[in-house]
């Protein structure tokens, strides 16, 4: 069930492929491109059809819910990256120098993956319904594989201190009151904000541009945010990765 070292090294490329297929949804046929609707609009229509809420009420509810999920994803991504460090977050190999138990890692062991999942869930609202389902199923499985792979690696690398951390902090459901005291780690907020522009861009798209119901505009905004994050990462100085758990 755990991801291989190759999957970890290619994790960004794998996610890009899944997202592209989710937006493209080739199984629907190229002749249906003009009739595709975004999942957020589809959900509002279904709520209206089932008599749950009118379309005028349902659409704002879906948009606000999606924006809140996107906000949670952006906060977790930026917060986790600020404490873990750029070199660890985007390193091609798993790192295991020490246990990170500060910042969001006091509440949940995998804030970056949880934030990534929230970001993908929000982004899936811009996909066709079948594409959204495809994306979330595959992303959930892939993230779980990555998490399990990292846990095995870190347990072997760090030993008992990491096992104590596993017992103290939940894997994916954040604990409201952390059982660990604050450590002396220093977060790097500017770097985290710059390198997580993609997650922030998804939030901005859902919170502000989705009200236009312009699918093409929203997709462009997501792509631009991702492109900016890649450019920023290309110019980031590389240091030696020293900290454990992602």
Give the per-residue pLDDT at 34.
59
Taking a C-beta distance cutoff of 8 angstroms, is the pair 40, 17 a contact?
Answer: no
Residue 242 has pLDDT above 60, yes or no: no
For residues 88-107, average pLDDT: 91
Q: What confidence tier does 239 reach under pLDDT thresholds 50, 70, 90?
A: low
Which 8-state DSSP code applies to residue 4? Answer: P
How much is the average pLDDT of 218-232? 96
pLDDT, tens only, 141-165: 999 999 999 999 999 999 999 999 9
Domain over 5-234 is classified CATH 1.20.120 = yes
Helix (H/G/I), strand (E/B), else coil: 217:
helix
Q: What span, in angstroms and rounded, lies between the C-alpha atoms of 80 and 241?
A: 15
224 or 1, which is more confident?
224
Total count of residues recorded for the chain: 246
Q: Quick one: pLDDT at residue 240? A: 46
Predicted confidence (pLDDT) per residue in 29-45, tens digit: 766 655 689 999 999 99
Residue found under tokens 């989705």: 210
Mean pLDDT across the chain: 93
């Amino acid at each position: 069930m755990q991801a291989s070292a190759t999957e970890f090294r290619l994790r960004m490329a794998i996610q890009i492929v899944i997202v592209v297929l989710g937006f493209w949804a080739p199984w629907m046929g190229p002749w249906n491109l003009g009739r595709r609707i975004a999942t957020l609009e589809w959900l509002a229509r279904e709520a209206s059809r089932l008599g749950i809420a009118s379309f005028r009420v349902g659409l704002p509810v879906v948009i606000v819910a999606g924006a809140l999920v996107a906000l949670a994803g952006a906060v977790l991504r930026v917060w986790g990256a600020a404490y873990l460090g750029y070199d660890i977050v985007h390193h091609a190999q798993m790192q295991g120098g020490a246990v990170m138990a500060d910042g969001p890692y006091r509440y949940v062991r995998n804030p970056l993956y949880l934030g990534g999942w929230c970001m993908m869930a929000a982004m899936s609202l811009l996909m066709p319904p079948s594409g959204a389902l495809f994306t979330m199923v595959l992303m959930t499985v892939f993230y779980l594989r990555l998490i399990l792979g990292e846990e095995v690696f870190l347990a072997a690398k760090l030993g008992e201190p990491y096992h104590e951390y596993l017992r103290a902090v939940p894997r994916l459901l954040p604990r409201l009151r952390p059982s660990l005291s604050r450590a002396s780690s220093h977060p790097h907020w500017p770097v985290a904000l710059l390198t997580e522009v993609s997650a922030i861009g998804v939030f901005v798209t859902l919170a502000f541009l989705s009200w236009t119901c312009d699918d093409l505009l929203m997709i462009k905004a997501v792509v631009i945010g991702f492109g900016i994050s890649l450019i920023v990462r290309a110019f980031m100085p590389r240091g030696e990765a020293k900290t454990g758990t992602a």
